[in-house]
Structure 1
Amino acid sequence: MSAFQQILRSNEDSILTSWLKGMSSSTRRSDLIDDADLKQQVKEFLRLFTEAAQISSDIQSAAYVSVREFLKQIAKSRMDRGFSPADTAMFILSLKEPVFVALKDTLKGNPSELVTEIWSSGDLLDKLAMLTVDTAIGFREQTISRQQEEMLELSTPVVKLWDGIVALPLIGTLDSARTQVVMESLLTAIVETNSQVAIIDITGVPTVDTLVAQHLIKTITAARLMGAECFLSGIRPAIAQTIVHLGIDLADIQTKAKLSDAFSIALRILGKSVVSARTAQASSKIKEE
């Protein structure tokens, strides 16, 4: 058994005390975790680590299964509480000092072995810290990905303007991922509302290039396959010039400069019209007379 393994087994309590005492404020983060929870995490990790280190120094071996699972839990809980990946890594790296001090006290008469043990124990803790960082970053990426999906859904609201008429106002840049959400949202709304007319408004889209135009054409084609007439509104002068300059063919697509213009046409298609209350009252009086 190496000196490092012996020290962990025989000095677990003193290392635990030194570890907690030596943690800096940036590592302890009392604003994010209380002392009771921190002590529990430190105690549990040191116990699992000591048991695994007696068997192997390979963190990917079966001996470290419990250690790896515990570090995943630590990374997840700390990310949820607001710790950064660096803060989470320092939780493991701060164990180095009490371990190195214990090694120095034990092997002070053997400098060569001391260097070897410090190197091997430090390398082992570094690998565990990196595993924690990778896990924390993985959880953060999952969170970011989920938030992006939620933002995509929120940024593509389908509005029912009238019985049989839905509109999809788009704001921001269109890419392949967002276009898929746009298409799914629009087609679902057409089915749920049994709409005969759909309006895609791109007033809030800053630029229209060839790729964006292709995405819009695919969405309009899909809406037509669902049996709904589809209009494209919000064609500003700058966008019209860009479309012409790029040679994009929108000849088969009905376009309007304003959403209100497209809405007026949609009403006519459904045989509807909007009149003022005074006009309606006047017409009613004339009929009565």
Structure 2
Amino acid sequence: MLALALALALAASAPAAPPAPGAGVAADAGQAALVAGRAAWADRADPARLDEALARFAEAARLRPDDAAPLLALARAQAFRAEAAPRSAREAWGEVARAAERALRLAAPGFGEVVDGGGEPRAAAAKVDARGAEALYWLALGAMGGARARGMAAVLAVKDEARALMERAAELDERVDGGGPRRALGAWLATLPSAAGGGAAAARAQLERARGLGPDDQRTKVVEAETLAVLLQDRARFEALLGEVVAFDPARAPALAAENQLARRRAEELLARKERLF
């Protein structure tokens, strides 16, 4: 089943890159590409600079095939692209999953062995230690993001596998991406019944933890408003959370300015739709 989930997540992504040149030259060029990618990433709110970052991270990953760092950078940048440009989401989430799986196979070879053998997702995730936590997070997020872009049938096909991977990522390092594993689990559990381990109480606990881990990351408030507040039809909570996002001063968290800008845009979109949501 896990292999099927990964196949669905990767279906929309690009073919593998061509082999890298000689080791010495590739290492130097790869490091230069990674540095250039990070410089462009700092300006990711500018679409042209985001494209530059994506290109440079992909180049670095091609030139340094045994290094997880450019793959993780590429996964994160593609995830940002998926949120910033919804029309590209299906392709971008596939690229997130592709880069993350490659990084995870480097960090935890046992994971790949279980996947290739058709093993269960929890068994594969159990082979991952803290070194693979970030890759596991991006893989789970990419799998679910890609599934959502494809439709409900795809979501149903990957939800259990993605949840197992995300739960393991949260166990290993819940701080990744500003409490990202907890934020994702909160969103996903809000859509599941209590009998399946989901429901409002479980979702609320995850989202509260995510807020504690990333207090300046406005994405968690948007997720809570869009999922839990809507589920509970708590209009007051919905408006309060999104009002906080809109009012947040980006200067308080310069490193998250681009992510918080996207969160504000989403908050404004949701507020404009509130009469249809409640």
Q: Shorter chain as normaliser: what TM range? A: under 0.3
User: Greater CA radius of gyration, 1 or 2?
Assistant: 1
TM-score of the pair, normalised by structure 2: 0.24
Which structure is higher in helix share?
2
TM-score of the pair, normalised by structure 1: 0.23
